[in-house]
A = this chain, B = another copy of it.
Amino acid sequence: MTTIKDIARIAGVSVATVSRVINESGYVNADTRKKVEEAIKLMNYSPNEVARSLYKRKSKLIGLLLPDITNPFFPQLARGVEDRLQEHGYRLIFGNSDENEDKELDYIRTFVQNNVIGVISSTNFPDSDTYLKLKIPIVFLDRTSNESPSVYADGREGGRMAAQEIIARGSKHITILQGPAHIKPAQDRFQGAVEVLEELGMSYHVIQTSSFSYAEAGHWATILFEQHLETDGVIASNDIVATAVLQEAHRLGKSVPQDVQIIGYDDIPLSSLLSPSLSTIRQPAYDMGREAARLLIELIEQDKVDEKIIQLPVSFVERETTRRK
């Protein structure tokens, strides 16, 4: 590997001068600069970030912790984060936490060991010791904590919206699929929907689900219609489950949206390609990722940051699994 010493030798200067050229710091004579730059080009040299990071006690690396990249909501987030960071010269160390606190802790530890300069995390444990003790900037993404910087969409409002829309479109026997108990955003949207149903004095049923996995989605859909065949409106916990419900309704010969309306959550990319295409509550996942990265960069590069808690709007995306008003 070419090192700064090699460049110094070739250019006939000291390592300090080479360093000055690379970092455009201090005084360097124009001719000297030229010699150094030529040597750098000649050897195709690029400085070792590890050595830099050691002395400066900070790197160009940022840790990203997501529950499961396999859940189609998260690739959007990740891509948003990555795109923004990349523009600013930062790189990503990535891990899947499976919503598991131990795994999270382990990742955060190795992030720190690698001198990451900031962390973006979708965690259910924002108030755990691990995060409180972190001495580097952290942004919570899709999850919130009281005072900490975070970027999220309003789950409660999303849930309310779903309930309002499905009621406004005429469903009387609504069943809500309640997402996994340990995942906060899932509970927020559930609470929001329940609120509206209670406010309007509607009766409804709840099916409690314990995962967002593809494998089990069909299972919840089956149970739903087994237990509440009269259901004419389904508020799903996310688009995957909604898709499974759509499939099950189809299998049972129910037509959508005439017999059953279905509203999903997230607006994952495939939702618009289903037939009927899925009405859903959209979370601007890509933008959330980008915003989180922007906020983190601000926290890293500036002393004070105005807005530390960024809530992005959710919206109802009207497609074909709901009736026209």
Contacts and interface: CB of A to CB of B under 8 A. Distances in A.
Given A53-B50, A91-B95, A94-B92, A243 B72 contact: no
Given A61-B93, A214-B270, A250-B275, 5 more contacts: A48-B54, A50-B54, A69-B79, A70-B79, A82-B95
A211 interface: no
A51 B240 CA distance: 44
Contacts of A96: 79, 82-83
A246 B275 contact: yes
A47 interface: yes
A68 interface: yes
Nearest to A78: B69
B114 A50 contact: yes
A48 to B, nearest CB: 6
A105 to B, nearest CB: 12
A272 interface: yes
Nearest to A250: B275
A75 interface: yes
A53 B244 CA distance: 47
7 contacts: A1-B57, A46-B109, A46-B112, A50-B59, A70-B79, A93-B93, A251-B275
Given A49-B113, A53-B50, A93-B92, A243 B273 contact: yes
A244 B78 CA distance: 24
Ranked nearest first, the 7 interchain pairs of A and B with the lowest CB-CB distance are A250-B275, A214-B269, A49-B113, A247-B275, A94-B94, A243-B273, A69-B75
Interface in A73-95: 74-76, 78-79, 82-83, 86, 91-95
Interface string A138-154: 00000000000000000
A70 B76 contact: yes
B273 A214 contact: yes
A218 interface: yes
Contacts of A270: 72, 214, 240, 243, 270
B91 A110 contact: yes
A65 to B, nearest CB: 12
Contacts of A246: 275
Contact of A75 (B72, B243, B273): B72
A181 interface: no
A79 B274 CA distance: 25
User: Which of A46, A115, A269 gathers most chain B CB within 10 Å?
Assistant: A269
A79 B98 CA distance: 11
Contacts of A275: 246-247, 250-251
A209 interface: no
